[in-house]
Amino acid sequence: MAQALESDPEFEMVLGMASRNPTVALERTDFVHADQTYSIVSRIVRATRPDTIVHTFMVTDSTRATGRALHETNVIGTMNLLAAAGQAGSPVRQVVVKSSTLIYGSSATDPAWFSEDAVRTSAPTTRVEKSLMDVEELVRNFAEDNPSTVVSLLRFANVLGTDIVTAISTNLSKRLCPSIAGFDPLVQFVEEDDVVRALEHVTRRRVPGIYNVAGAGKLPWSEVAALCGTRLLPLPPYGTRLAARPLVQMKLLELPPELEILLRFGRGVDTSRIAATGFEHRYTTAGAVESFIRALRLRRTVGQARPSYTYEHEVEQFFRRSPSVVSHADN
Amino acid sequence: MCLPRSEPEVHTPPRLQDVDEWGRSERVRTIVRRVYSPVYKHWFRVEWEGLEKIPKTGGALLICNHAAAIPSDAPVIMHGIEEELGRAVYGMADFFFRTVPWLGTAWSRAGGLSAHPDNALRLLRDQGQLALVFPEGTKATSKTYRDRYRLRRFGRGGFVEIAMRAGVPVVPIVCIGAEESMPIVFKLPTLAKIINVPYVPVTANMLLLGPLGVLAYFPSKFKLRVLDPVTFNMPSGQERYSKSRIMDEAENIRNLMQETIYEMLRDRRSVLFG
Q: What is the pLDDT along chain B (274 residues), one digit of tens a residue?
A: 444 444 446 777 888 889 999 999 999 999 999 999 999 999 999 999 999 999 999 999 999 999 888 888 999 999 999 999 999 999 998 888 888 999 999 999 999 999 999 999 999 999 999 999 999 888 888 888 888 889 988 888 899 999 999 999 999 999 999 989 998 888 898 998 988 888 888 999 999 998 888 889 999 999 999 999 999 988 888 888 899 999 999 999 999 999 999 999 999 998 888 7
B82 — alpha (psi -120 to 50), left (phi > 0) or beta?
alpha
The strand order across the sheet containing B112-114 reads B47-49, B223-226, B170-176, B60-64, B130-133, B89-93, B112-114
Angstroms from B39 CA to nearest CA on chain A:
26
Angstroms from A327 CA to nearest CA on chain B:
21
Chain B CA closest to residue A200: B4
* Helix (H/G/I), strand (E/B), else coil: B233: coil
Domain of A85, CATH number, reads: 3.40.50.720
pTM passes above 0.90: no
Give B-chain residues touching A288 at CB under 8 angstroms.
Answer: none
Is B16's CB within 8 Å of A226's CB? Answer: yes
Is A182's CB within 8 Å of B102's CB? Answer: yes
Is A282's CB within 8 Å of B96's CB? Answer: no
Is A282's CB within 8 Å of B12's CB? Answer: no
Residue of A100, A276, A284, A290 lying closest to A202 (CA atoms): A276
Give A-chain residues touching B15 at CB under 8 angstroms.
Answer: 219, 223, 286
Is B122's CB within 8 Å of A268's CB? Answer: no
Chain A CA closest to residue B112: A112
Chain B CA closest to residue A237: B101
Give A-chain residues touching B21 at CB under 8 angstroms.
Answer: 112-113, 186, 217-218, 268
Q: Using CB atoms, which residue from A109, A180, A217 is nearest to B95?
A: A109
Q: Using CB atoms, which residue from B12, B102, B119 is nearest to A286?
A: B12
Is A196's CB within 8 Å of B105's CB? Answer: no
Judge whether B274 and B223 are in contact, CB under 8 Å. Answer: yes
Is A192's CB within 8 Å of B17's CB? Answer: no
Give the best residue of A115, A116, A190, A193 to mutate against chain B (max B CB count within 10 A). Answer: A193
Q: What is the number of alpha carbons within 13 Å of residue B147 lying toward its C-beta?
A: 15
- Domain of residue A122, residue span: 2-330
Q: What Cα–Cα distance (Å) separates residue A294 from each residue in A254, A287, A297, A307?
A: 22, 10, 5, 17
Domain-by-domain residue ranges, chain B?
26-179+219-266
Angstroms from A113 CA to nearest CA on chain B:
7
pLDDT of chain A, 331 residues: tens digit per residue: 666 666 666 666 677 766 666 666 776 677 777 776 677 788 888 888 888 888 888 888 888 777 788 888 889 889 988 988 888 888 888 999 999 999 998 888 899 999 999 888 778 888 899 999 999 999 999 999 999 999 999 999 999 988 888 999 999 999 999 999 999 999 999 999 999 999 999 998 999 999 999 999 999 999 999 999 999 999 999 999 899 999 999 888 899 999 999 999 999 999 999 999 999 999 999 999 999 999 998 888 887 655 566 677 777 777 777 777 665 544 3
Residue type, A329: A
Is A220's CB within 8 Å of B13's CB? Answer: no
Judge whether A152 and A96 are in contact, CB under 8 Å. Answer: yes
* Helix (H/G/I), strand (E/B), else coil: A241: helix
Q: How many domains does chain A have?
A: 1
Q: Which of residues 83-142 of B touch A (CB under 8 A)?
A: 95-96, 98-105, 113-114, 116-119, 122
Which CATH superfamily, name and number, covers B26-179+219-266?
A: Glycerol-3-phosphate (1)-acyltransferase (3.40.1130.10)
The whole-angstrom separation of Cα A257 and Cα A269 is 20
Is B101's CB within 8 Å of A3's CB? Answer: no
Angstroms from B171 CA to nearest CA on chain A:
23
Give A-chain residues touching B23 at CB under 8 angstroms.
Answer: 112, 186, 220
Q: Using CB atoms, which residue from A197, A223, A283 is nearest to B19?
A: A223
Is A289's CB within 8 Å of B13's CB? Answer: yes
Query: Going by C-beta distance under 8 Å and a sequence separation of 6 or more, which residues neighbour residue A20?
Result: none
Is B10's CB within 8 Å of A111's CB? Answer: no
The whole-angstrom separation of Cα B67 and Cα B62 is 16
Angstroms from B1 CA to nearest CA on chain A:
7
Judge whether B62 and B102 are in contact, CB under 8 Å. Answer: no
Is B12's CB within 8 Å of A284's CB? Answer: yes
Is B4's CB within 8 Å of A193's CB? Answer: yes
Is A110's CB within 8 Å of B116's CB? Answer: yes
Is B19's CB within 8 Å of A227's CB? Answer: no
